[in-house]
Structure formats: structure tokens, C-alpha cells
Amino acid sequence: YGPNGEDAFRGSFDEALEELGASVPQDSTIVDMGCGTGTSTRRLAERFPQANSIVGIDLSPNMVAVGKRLLKLAPKGVDEGGPWVTTIKPDDRIELMVGDAASTGLPDSSAGAV
């Protein structure tokens, strides 16, 4: 896919959400399990602006640290003359944290979508 590879790959994620009928209630919390560096978490934030917060959880402290740093740096993508694959936009609704599905640290019934 060349320079459009990232969009093609991530677009399949969006298509799957649409096909499954994913919906997010107004002012709810989305939890993204296995978020890695937060790529899918940021995508969910962009796709569901009505969410109050988007929490990305991953087992790897290193991946979470990279994701937090990317949100802070907000590098521009190559299509905007920057060094990154796609532009990363800061979003105060996103929180990335280390955890696992059995022990998220989140209150029971606090998420509108997982």
C-alpha cells in the first residue's frame, strides 16, 4: 500500500467496528485492552468524540511509556512533512496505563464500551 499502508491497515479496524455495530453512549468511558503504544486508543478517541474518556491498558510498561510520550510530543505525520507515519493529535480524554484484563484498577461497571 506504500504511503497509504497505515490508513489501509487502520481502516480495517474501523470497518470491523462498523460491521459489528460498535456504539458508545454519550459521556461514557471506552476501555482499550492491549493498547500497546496507544495507536488503537487514539483511533477510538477520534472515532467516538462523544466518549468522555478513553483508557488504554497494556501489560507492557515500555509500550505504555512510548504511547504517553507520543501523546506528549504529538509528532506530525509524513503527509504533513513530519517524521512520523501519521500525525498524532493530543487528546486530554486519553489515559494510558499498565494493567491487565483481570486487574484493571477501574471501578466495576465504569466503562460504556470495552
Segment 44-69, tens digit of pLDDT = 999 999 999 999 999 999 999 999 99
* pLDDT greater than 70 at residue 107: yes
Q: How far apart are CA 58 and CA 61, in angstroms?
A: 7
What per-residue confidence (pLDDT) applies to 105? 83
Burial class (CB in 10 A: 0-12, 13-18, 19+), 51: buried
Model confidence pLDDT, tens digit, residues 22-47: 889 999 999 999 999 999 999 999 99
pLDDT digits (tens, 9 = 90+) for 7-24: 777 788 888 888 998 889
CB crowding 58-73: b at 16 or more within 10 Å, else e: beeeebbeebbebbee
pLDDT at 2 over 70: no
